[in-house]
Structure 1
């Protein structure tokens, strides 16, 4: 296959992994989330938590989101750099969290940047390391605090 075409397909597959991650969060589909990471992945969620291993990542994320009524994670401005079977991807994040559908004004928004390291596996591209750099927040942080 043409090298340029392969690079475009790899870039699309990598962006698709990041979008699959966001969709998994918003649908609370923890199996889909598992498919975004290598088994030994590391996630650094800034002031929220650091996790090692896909099970720890899923536990952290699901524990922090299962009680929310709705979330919307929007990822943009993807920059992918390929290096054979390894890659990096940086993208912007804006995530809205709604605690109670009956009170849509009770929300919390955070924005920042994900920086990922990825590897090509037999099942496609997977995140091996993810870091969240938090840039700003708006709204009520109590929305994401567990009662």
Structure 2
């Protein structure tokens, strides 16, 4: 393998790890560490699940919003797999399948809400490494208690 081939493999591994860290830090409620995987501004598109329009936010606002939205659950578990990575210079795209399980012990309905679909992450190379500057979540299916997000937010 040539040096450029080794660099390409290293870039791909770094991109996958950066994308994985978003979900790891979220599930482990590591909100300050979550901020570190993002670029200075991040375009978020969760319209397939929530409607509305995509937004562009700084990392600390994202971490605060996710802390409020997900922090009320007893636990969450996000899996990211089947990564397809394309690196072009200092830009990268990683598309991957996800499975997101949200748990809240609840007397009103089941305790689980699960989603499946795809994420499309866009990243840019910075002096500190790869940073995510865009995320598009496409929910393909859901199962379980759809009322859990509202119940978790009320906690």
Q: Corresponding residue for 2:4?
A: 3
- Please report the TM-score for the alignment, with normalisation by the length of structure 1: 0.92
1:61-140 pair list within 5 angstroms:
61-100=66-105, 105-140=110-145
Q: Corresponding residue for 1:20?
A: 21
- Deviations, residues 42-98 of structure 1 (Å, cap 9, x unaligned): 111223374422123212211111111011000000000010111111001100000
**What is the rounded CA distance, in whole Å, between the counterparts of 2:59 and 2:103 in structure 1?**
25
How far is the alpha carbon of 1:101 from its aligned partner?
Answer: 8.8
**What is the rounded CA distance, in whole Å, between the counterparts of 1:108 and 1:79 in structure 2?**
26
Q: Corresponding residue for 1:37?
A: 38
**What is the rounded CA distance, in whole Å, between the counterparts of 1:101 and 1:69 in structure 2?**
10
- Please report the TM-score for the alignment, with normalisation by the length of structure 2: 0.87
Gaps in structure 1 of 5+ consecutive residues: none
**What is the rounded CA distance, in whole Å, between the counterparts of 1:7 and 1:65 in structure 2?**
35
Gaps in structure 2 of 5+ consecutive residues: none
User: What RMSD, in angstroms, separates the aligned Cα atoms of the two structures?
Assistant: 1.9
Could you tell me which of 38, 63, 75 is aligned with 1:58? 63
How far is the alpha carbon of 1:18 from its aligned partner?
Answer: 1.1
State the aligned residue count.
Answer: 146
Of the structure 1 ranges 88-97 and 42-51, higher mean CA displacement relative to structure 2 is found in 42-51
Q: Which runs of 4+ in 1 moved over 6 A?
A: none
**What is the rounded CA distance, in whole Å, between the counterparts of 1:40 and 1:8 in structure 2?**
27
- Deviations, residues 100-143 of structure 1 (Å, cap 9, x unaligned): 299xx510001111111100111100101111011000000111
